[in-house]
Structure formats: structure tokens, C-alpha cells
Structure 1
Amino acid sequence: MPPASMLRVATANVNGVRAAFRRGMGDWLAARDVDLLALQEVRASTDDLADLLGDEWSILHDPATAKGRAGVAIASRADAHIHRVELGETDHDTAGRWLEADYEVGGRIVTVVSCYVPSGEADSPKQVDKYRFLDAMSERMTQLAEHELAVVVGDLNVGHRTLDIKNWKGNVKRAGFLPEERAYFDRFMGSEDDERYNDGAGLGWVDVGRRVAGDVPGPYTWWSWRGKAFDNDSGWRIDYQLATPALADLVQAYSVDRADAYDQRWSDHAPVVVDYAIPTPEDS
């Protein structure tokens, strides 16, 4: 095997980072040996993030326009080369929902995006805003597809296939599983009817979780706090790592870090963790 730099990328919708740390997120992070940590729904200041994560992390943070809402961040063991937060038209507020950065890993540049797609609400202005965001996201992902090593991670708030939602029949008219939303993901990875789905179809992006898991239900990444959804594993797979083909081919491991019990959860989402083996330039 040629020499490679191992890169562990974790993404988590923390549902408020201060609350997540009170519930035990710090213990998870200390044990997980993460290199790049992408967060969504931060709902805190950059100073709060720095205090919680500690001095060993370099932090990029794009807070939402409205205080206490949304917010995305990327924390890393090394400084980012550049970062970008603008997405879409200037009259569309996407603050706190798209943060893009380039990192040097083993002499290679890896582009990482922490993304938080609006949840939407069927037949409402919120759904119109969601489609505007997905349009802007599609345009940028078309451009990012030209990068060799890039990954878009986060809470994308859409279940692409029936395998991604436990109770999909009861949710076909709800935001998160509307045909119009799922069509955007067909554009990213291809539809499940395409023989090249998740292997060069659409814009060519690879859904790492589905490639590793295969055609099985889940593994789910979000469960409602209410009722017995978590205990019954009645969840949704809406947290993704979407990689360019070259990066997807470097995946060594994929995990959804589901809590062992309801009372051990520190968010209503579980982290999605992927290991990538990045070859050095002379070996690629």
C-alpha cells in the first residue's frame, strides 16, 4: 500500500452546541480522534465554540443572521487555506447554512463544506425558500464537482430514497421526502433507477453512506425526541457525506455514531464519521 494521510471527517447537527456539550458531546469528541468536525445548528457565538472545543482546534464559523438560529462551522486540527460562505443570490439569506473551506492533507487540497439545508414546510413560503437554497446548492455543487477531492457534509434535510426513511409511506407529502426535493438528489447522484446511480450518474457525486451500507434500510441519522422513535429506530437518514468520485474511492470506514440509549443522546441527530486515506501527490 502506498503511503497515505488518514483524514477522519465527522459531521453532526448538534441542535445547539452548548446544550450538546451539556449532554455529553465533549466525551464523544474526546474519544473519536476526529481531524475535521463539521457542525450544523450551532446556535452559539464563535467565542462559545472556542471555549467548548478548546485551543487545539482551528474554527471557522458562519452564524445565522437571526441570533440563536442555524449556524454552521468547521473545526480542524490545522488552519484552512481559504473559506467561502456566499451561496446563491444576494437577496436570499443563506447565512448559517453553507461554509466551505480548503484544507491541505498530505500535500493534497481537500475541499470540505458544512451544509444545513432548511427543513421547509410543504405548501408554504418556507418550502419556497428551501427550493431556492437547493437551487443555489445545485449550482455550487456543479462547480465543486470539478474539484478532485471535495465533500459536502451535513444535515441536508432530504431523504433521497425510500430506504432513507423508516415510515416513508406516511411522509410522501411532508417536507423532507417530497418528490420535488428528492429530484435534486437525483441530480447529484442519479436516481435509483439509473444503472450508474451513485457511481457517476447525475453530477457524479457519491453518497458515501449508501455506497458503504448498500441497499438496506438506513442507517438512520435522525430520530424525533418524541415518543419511541429512537427506541424503535423509526428514523430518517438525512445527514450525509457526499464526495467526489476520487475522494469516495478513498473511503476506509463509515459510521453513524448512534447513542446506545435514548438518555445518552446529545442531539436528535447522530454524527456521521468517515475515514479517508489521502495519498501523497507522488503516490497518486
Structure 2
Amino acid sequence: MAETLRVASVNVNGIRAAYRKGMGDWLATSGVDVLALQEVRADDSHIAELLGDEWHVLHDPCEIKGRAGVAIASRVPATAHRVGLGALDAQEQIQSSGRWLEADFELGGKPFTVISNYTHSGEVDTPRQEAKWAFLDAMGVRMDELAEERDYVAIVGDFNVGHREFDIKNWKGNVKRSGFLPRERAYFDRFFGPRGETVTGVDGSEGVGHGWVDVGRRFAGEVDGPYTWWSNRGQAFDNDTGWRIDYQVVTPALAEHVADYRVARYPSYDTRWSDHAPVIVDYTA
């Protein structure tokens, strides 16, 4: 019988608030084996109390209190874990704390690494955007390192960038906003471009491709969405005026083991427990 590992990722927008709104009920019936969380904004004790004894929890809180925070909860304990991106200077490390957590598991007897990633949201022409550029640069460096080290790696979570026009319902109105800037999208052109080959980004820049796979786009095809985040303003959720900014990005070898992909969109606005929906992928050995 094939071994299946179900990996879910979601920006919870504060885990305590998410649980008050019904996250626990969803998790109890989700069948998830590894749960990657972003924007946790809680202490270790809060997470442990909410999730319960059946989960093994790794947590990297943000050094700036009340912000960010990533966690990985799993049915079986990770064999090892690492925190943070190495290619950042001291100040950038502080700004990027609580945003990158790696945990090692196994799939079919082979090492399988899951990374909970919470990329900066950014803001044009501010230090927040500079922090985002530094984080994206460091992510590219780490992606190359990981691809050299192991076959099965999944970087999951809130990347805070819509890569293509398919990924944002109102893309024309957002081309000058952080999250859909041509320069940001060019990073993703390189992330998903052929490894080692020259890639021309949507902004006209040239760089070297990293060769990773966007599971959501490969699985869904050339269609709008499926969106993973909706603004709380107006009727964005009801009208499905969303953004696809939550991804599962994997090494090519792992992409061959994707059995299913879905966005667990909430039945209605009033049943949401976060402004992001969980992204769920089944990996089968």
C-alpha cells in the first residue's frame, strides 16, 4: 500500500483568534499529517494548549513581539529542524525572524523536508519592501542549497506574491502594489524557471533559474486562481475577488509524488477562521 503524507499550510492570522473562530473543528477532520502555520503570533504554551498532545510542535516566534511567527505541527516528531535563512545580515535576521522554519521527516523511507515560509508583505518605497527584497534574495540562495542537498523538499506557506495574472482577480489594479510588482514576480519566474538556465523575468531582468515547481499551478492548470486569500473589505470573499499568494513549492523529484492538491475554501464568509484558506497537498510514495 502506498504511503501518503498530507501537508497543509495556512496563514492563521493569529492562532488564538483562529481557534476561537473554528480552526480546531477543521483540523480535527482534515486528515493532515504535517501542518505548517504562518503569522502564529503566540507563545509556545498557547500553541501547545490549542493543538493538544497528539501534535509535535516546532515554533519560531518573531523577535518583534506581536508579529509573524511560523510553526510546524506534525503527527510524528521531526528528525531535525533549522530556523531562519542564512544569507541575511544581522538586522535582516531580526526583521525576518519568525518567517522560515525547516523540519525533516520521511516519505517512503527518504528524507522529506517541509518549510513553513512567511514572506514579508512589503510596502512600496519603504523599509518593509527592502526587507522583502532581502528575504527573496536569501530564499533563492537557500533553494539552491536545498536542491543540492536532498530530493524531497516542500516550501509551503504565505509567499505574499501573486506570480502571474491568473493569481489575482483584479491584477490590472495591483501592478504597482507590493504583492504584484513586476520585480517581485520576476523572482518567481526564476524560482520556477529551468534550473541553471538564463531566465528573463516579467520585469525584463535576467537571472538563473532555480528549477522548482509550483504545485498549485501545475495541478490547477492555466485558470484563474484558485485563490487563497481574500481582503476583508467589501464583498471580496463572496465575489471570489482573491489572490493566490499561498503556495506549496517543491523540488522536481517531489513534484512527481503529488497525488492531490486543493484549497480548502470556506463554505461562506461567516465560517472563515482566517482571511487565508488552507492549501492541502497529498504526497504519495
| TM-score calculated relative to the size of structure 1 | 0.92
**1:208-254: CA deviation from partner (whole Å, max 9, x where unpaired):** 00000000000000001111000000000000000111111101110
CA distance in 2, matches of 1:277, 1:42: 28
In the alignment, which residue of structure 2 is the partner of 1:170? 173
Shift of 1:104: 2.3
Structure 1 residues 6-25: aligned runs within 5 Å: 6-25=4-23
Aligned to 1:188, which of 188, 191, 206? 191
Q: Which amino acid aligns with 2:191?
A: F
In the alignment, which residue of structure 2 is the partner of 1:54? 52
RMSD: 1.6
- Tell whether 2:250 aligns with 1:276: no
CA distance in 1, matches of 2:100, 2:36: 11
Q: Secondary structure at the match of 2:114?
A: strand
- Tell whether 2:229 aligns with 1:231: no
- Please tell me whether the aligned partners of residues 192 and 213 of structure 2 are also in contact (alpha carbons under 8 angstroms): yes
Shift of 1:94: 1.6
Q: Identify the range of structure 1 (67-76 vs 100-109) with the bigger mean alpha-carbon deviation.
A: 100-109
- Please tell me whether the aligned partners of residues 10 and 158 of structure 2 are also in contact (alpha carbons under 8 angstroms): yes
CA distance in 2, matches of 1:177, 1:145: 26
In the alignment, which residue of structure 2 is the partner of 1:221? 228
Shift of 1:75: 0.3
Overall identity of the aligned pairs, in % = 65
- Which structure 1 residue ranges, 4+ long, deviate > 3 Å from structure 2? none
- Please tell me whether the aligned partners of residues 161 and 180 of structure 2 are also in contact (alpha carbons under 8 angstroms): yes
- Tell whether 2:211 aligns with 1:204: yes
CA distance in 2, matches of 1:31, 1:164: 28
Aligned to 1:262, which of 260, 269, 274? 269
Q: Which amino acid aligns with 2:277?
A: A
Aligned to 2:122, which of 120, 123, 126? 120
Q: Which amino acid aligns with 2:229?
A: W
- Please tell me whether the aligned partners of residues 161 and 185 of structure 2 are also in contact (alpha carbons under 8 angstroms): yes
In the alignment, which residue of structure 2 is the partner of 1:75? 73
Shift of 1:63: 0.2
Q: Secondary structure at the match of 2:90?
A: coil
Aligned to 2:156, which of 153, 158, 161? 153
In structure 1, list runs of 5 or more residues that go unmatched.
Answer: 279-284
CA distance in 2, matches of 1:90, 1:27: 40
Shift of 1:22: 0.4
Q: Secondary structure at the match of 2:4?
A: strand
- Please tell me whether the aligned partners of residues 246 and 279 of structure 2 are also in contact (alpha carbons under 8 angstroms): yes
Q: Which amino acid aligns with 1:145?
A: A
CA distance in 1, matches of 2:107, 2:221: 28
CA distance in 1, matches of 2:84, 2:267: 38
In the alignment, which residue of structure 2 is the partner of 1:132? 134
CA distance in 2, matches of 1:64, 1:97: 7
Shift of 1:4: 2.7
CA distance in 1, matches of 2:281, 2:189: 22
In structure 2, list runs of 5 or more residues that go unmatched.
Answer: 201-207
Shift of 1:190: 2.2
Q: Which amino acid aligns with 2:180?
A: F
Shift of 1:82: 1.2
CA distance in 2, matches of 1:203, 1:4: 30
Shift of 1:89: 2.6
In the alignment, which residue of structure 2 is the partner of 1:43? 41
Shift of 1:179: 0.7
